[in-house]
Amino acid sequence: MAGDRVEKDTMGEVRVPKDALWGASTQRAVENFPISGLRFPRVFLEALGLVKWACSEANMDLGLLDRKIGGAIANAARDVAAGTHDDQFPLDIFQTGSGTSTNTNANEVIANLANLALGGTVGAKKPAHPNDHVNMGQSSNDVIPTAIHLAALLAMERELVPALRRLHEALAAKAKAWDGIVKSGRTHLMDATPIRLGQEFSGYASQVEHAVRRVQGTYRHLGELALGGTAVGTGINAHPDMPPRAIRRLAEATSLPLRRADNAFEAQAAQDALIEASGALRVVAASLFKIADDVRLMGSGPRTGLAELKLPELQPGSSIMPGKVNPVIPEAVLQVCVQVYGNDATVGAAGLANHLDLSTMMPVMARNLLESVHLLARACEVFREKCVDGLQPNLEKIRRDAEMSTAIVTRLNPIIGYDKAAELAKESMRTGKTVKELVIEKGILPREEAERLLDPKALTEANKDLLGSGGG
């Protein structure tokens, strides 16, 4: 075959595409796993390249790796981290559960790049050997979990946390601007005592603020790296000083809180930190779902819904109903949230596959966790840019609903009792008169007192004693 070259590995000869930088072992995996077409994301390949770079530097510092060969390996690994050779990582996510095929893929690509730089040829395995040099002091079993942890931290710190912070700022700005807008509260989707629109949005802002803390709370355990455990956690074939030196370089290069795992056996035999991180992302998704869904509800209408908010009009909403505009951004966000829930279910289930001394569903855990980080980050950005920033209150509708809410009668409980207050509420519903009008009409309170006690805005100030006594 003119387009191929023949390479050998421990199992015999393999035909590899002539221009490929990978070798025989990677090619076997290409042929063995034609399953989904899904690949490891860019941030994982960056992390994997960084791990290989850091290990080569540490091995050179210890005098274990020739400086000329090691320097070429380090340069090639940095190129892989930078994304120069992403097309050389063709393997499917659904592969060997340790990710060995992808670690081998990295070893072969980096070795071939190093050999080209040193005047050698692709596939010769000299002067740089993929196993003896690129993989020195390493195993797939410690490299892959290390790369997953590093990738998750990179993605969270670069993408998700900044996106959440910007969304928090946007929601907090709305809360401040709308603090004086009084509306009807709603519990169980039914009228409740008044609340300020700004108060509702302060709640949303607080949810996102908590989301940032939840995400960052996973850093402690994600920052524990399995590197140095090699095959089963014992560190066989790794110089004892190599892992701490490599991790120190990774921490300096990324400014992330990285350290060697307290127990390499735990770090390789289980992936609890990934389950924890995915669970935190599920909570973030729950918060984002609530906010987007509330915005969608408050923007429903324009005639038959709540119609309290005016959402930005971005595109026609129907192919048959002219003039219809739908809450497309909140709906996109909601779909992201349910996808994150599905990803979390996958990560959690995969985290059960920790048989004896190795977790064996790491690729699918990595893919789903990193997808959740990316999707949530993008959803936050789109939600902020195309929806939250452009939200406007429908002041007339909000005012009318607040004044007509029968739940205002709650303030009268300490004065006339729950049962009589309930009768007033029902009469208000029957007659269409406001509770305040009925209170004045029936002489329950003087007009001035009724105006003061039943002012919707005053009812939103929970710490203000409107009656001069407790209760309510």
Residue tagged 């009724």 (tokens): 450
The DSSP secondary structure of 22-52, one letter per residue, reads --HHHHHHHHH--S------HHHHHHHHHHH
Three-class SS state of 238: coil
**Is 318 in the active site?**
yes
Q: How far is CA 162 from the centre of its chain?
A: 11
Is residue 302 reached through a cis peptide bond, with omega within 30 degrees of 0 on the bond before it? yes
Residue 5's DSSP bridge partners are 16
- Give the separation between CA 368 and CA 378, rounded to whole angstroms: 15
Instruction: Answer yes or no: are the C-beta atoms of 116 and 186 closer than 8 Å.
Output: no
List CB contacts of 255: < 8 A, sequence separation 6 or more.
none
Query: Which residues does 155 contact at the CB level (< 8 Å), separation at least 6?
Result: 43, 370, 373, 374, 377
Q: Which of 377, 386, 389 is nearest to 337 (CA)?
A: 377
Alpha-carbon distance of 230 to 47, in angstroms, equals 18
Q: At what angle do helices 328-350 and 272-298 cross, to 10 degrees?
A: 160
CB-based contact 103:140 (threshold 8 Å):
yes
Bridge partners (DSSP) listed for residue 182 = 196
What HEC string does 66-109 produce? Answer: CHHHHHHHHHHHHHHHHCCCHHHCCCCCCCCCCCHHHHHHHHHH
The verdict on whether 101 is a catalytic residue reads no
Residue with tokens 């919707």: 456
Q: Which of 346, 458, 345 is nearest to 411 (CA)?
A: 458
- Cβ burial, residue 300 (10 Å; 0-12/13-18/19+): middle
Distance from C-alpha of 372 to C-alpha of 340, rounded to nearest angstrom: 5
Q: Which of 140, 184, 318, 319 is catalytic?
A: 318
| CA-closest candidate to residue 315, choices 325, 301, 306, 300 | 325
**Pairwise CA distance, residues 434 & 335, whole Å:** 40
SS3 260: strand
Give the residue carrying structure tokens 């000329």. 68
316 is written with which tokens? 């026609």
User: Catalytic residue among 188, 255, 319, 469, which?
Assistant: 188
Positions marked active-site = 188, 318
